[in-house]
Amino acid sequence: MTISGKDVGRRFCETVQKNARITSLVRELRLYTSRLELEESETHIRLIGICTNVENLYLNGCNTSRLDDLKTALGKADLVSLKLWHRPSEFYQRGKGQMPTIAEILRLLPKWPRIEEVSGFLGDRYGVRSKSMEAPIALEACTALRKIAIFDDTFDPTHLQYLKAIAPNLEDITFTIRPRSFAALRDCLRFWSSSLKRLSIRTPSHNKRPLHEGECPVIRFPIPEIRELNMAAPLLSVSALQYVPRLEKLHLTEGDFSQGTQLAQIIEEGVLPCLREIDVSFSVSTGVGDDITPGDVTDLKMKVAEELRRVCKKRDIFVRDSLTGAEELEAHYGYHKESPESSDNDWREAHNEPTST
């Protein structure tokens, strides 16, 4: 059930309040807001409370003054999937809308024993609002949780340890971590190593402070089932790829040219027999003398790119880097064609769901 617009939301809310049968049939709610109006958020929160059989919830925006009410309503639901969306840079007035923080979402998770997937753009890119956490009481409360993808908020070590304690079977992870979280991340990855299939970790500020000895790389043990890996150096090193033998897609950034050469070597040696796609970027390593010229950098880039293409071509591995052209991308990925979206109700107003970039 998709609800978009204040008037549509109000009419549907009035309808379900009067008809318990309709209420009992609603399994999915997709709630959109355009201007974060107070009345609109109040209606959305009321619908979450009325439709007690809802399993899948998508919420686009919440008025800041109703954030506590939203968290209360979410805590009483029995969710299988939760998707939250808040992008203040698009059309919201500053301070008018908020979503729960990472810590608040993690505390809600044990209330949903059937939860399988949680994702969201939380609108707190630098983790200003998110607080540290105490150890959870309900250990392994979310055994069904397989996927968590959080954008625009940042995990600290206490968030990672809390997630590890309540969700033992994670398969698909996407989030951003703070530099001081590297050790905690390594500990969590070891714990999830038998189940993990897809891992995407952002570290936007790791190079703004010196790394302590032993912090990186974070993968130093087998993760046998992982298929997709997205990380930046030095969090991920090429030498660590020996621990992911079933890897199919690799996205490695911020490595130096020597790692590019090393990657070509291990591909040629067959260390990654399942690899089908790489998306990489390499540059001059820190500490290289000032005598290197832009022409030298270009020559190194071309040399590494040519060597990677040579070894990957033999194994039918697609290479995506700064030299990959539009025609290559189109040939590999094909053209994206959207199919008309069907709707099983009359409450939907014309609305295109936002997509992340």
pLDDT 10s per residue in the chain (357 long)?
A: 676 666 777 787 788 788 888 888 999 999 987 777 888 889 899 999 999 999 999 998 888 889 999 999 999 999 999 999 876 554 445 557 788 999 999 999 999 999 999 999 887 665 566 788 888 887 889 999 999 999 888 999 999 999 999 999 999 999 999 888 999 999 999 999 999 999 999 987 544 555 665 678 999 999 999 999 999 998 999 999 999 999 999 999 988 999 999 999 999 999 999 999 999 999 887 655 567 788 888 888 999 999 999 999 999 999 998 888 888 888 888 854 443 333 333 333 333 444 333
Residue type, 209: R
Rounded Cα distance between 282 and 304, Å, is 9
pLDDT in the model for residue 208: 54
CA 93 to chain centre: 25
pLDDT in the model for residue 13: 77
pLDDT in the model for residue 207: 45
pTM for the whole structure: 0.85
Tally of CA atoms within 13 A in the half-sphere of 258 that contains its CB: 7
pLDDT in the model for residue 74: 96
Which among 24, 21, 65, 69 has a CA at the least distance from the CA of 45? 69
Angle, alpha carbons 131-133-137 (nearest 5°): 150
Angle, alpha carbons 9-88-133 (nearest 5°): 95
73 and 40 Cβ atoms separated by less than 8 Å = no
pLDDT in the model for residue 37: 80
pLDDT in the model for residue 245: 96
- Name the DSSP class of 105: H
pLDDT in the model for residue 171: 98
Cis previous bond, 217, omega within 30: yes
pLDDT in the model for residue 127: 59
Question: Would you state the structure tokens that stand for residue 217, as one six-digit string?
Answer: 């790389």
Q: Is 287 left (phi over 0), alpha (psi -120 to 50) or beta?
A: left
313 and 329 Cβ atoms separated by less than 8 Å = no
Tally of CA atoms within 13 A in the half-sphere of 354 that contains its CB: 21
Q: Residue 82 forms beta bridges with which residues?
A: 57, 118
